[in-house]
Amino acid sequence: MTDEFTAWCNQYYHLTKLFSERCERFKNLLDNAPPYTSQNNLSDIDPIISYNRKVHAAKVKADKTFKDLTATGRTILMIMQYFEIPPRTVLIGEIPGELEYEIWANEKDEVFIGKIRDLPQEALDPNIIYIKAWNGDKGDEDD
Q: Would residue 21 count as lying in a domain?
A: yes
Query: What is the domain count for the chain?
Result: 1
Q: Residues near 58 by Cβ (< 8 Å), separated by ≥ 6? A: 22, 25, 26, 29, 140, 143
Portion of the chain with pLDDT greater than 70, in percent: 87
Q: Would residue 30 count as lying in a domain?
A: yes
Look up the domain containing 70 and give its range.
4-86
Residue 126 pLDDT: 74
Amino acid at 18: L
Q: Would residue 124 count as lying in a domain?
A: no
**Averaged pLDDT for residues 80-96:** 96
Whole-number average pLDDT of the chain: 90
**Averaged pLDDT for residues 44-70:** 97
Asked if residue 123 has pLDDT above 80, the reply is: no
Q: What is the pTM of this model?
A: 0.80
**Averaged pLDDT for residues 37-54:** 95
Q: Would residue 112 count as lying in a domain?
A: no
Q: Would residue 139 count as lying in a domain?
A: no
Q: Would residue 11 count as lying in a domain?
A: yes
Q: Would residue 132 count as lying in a domain?
A: no
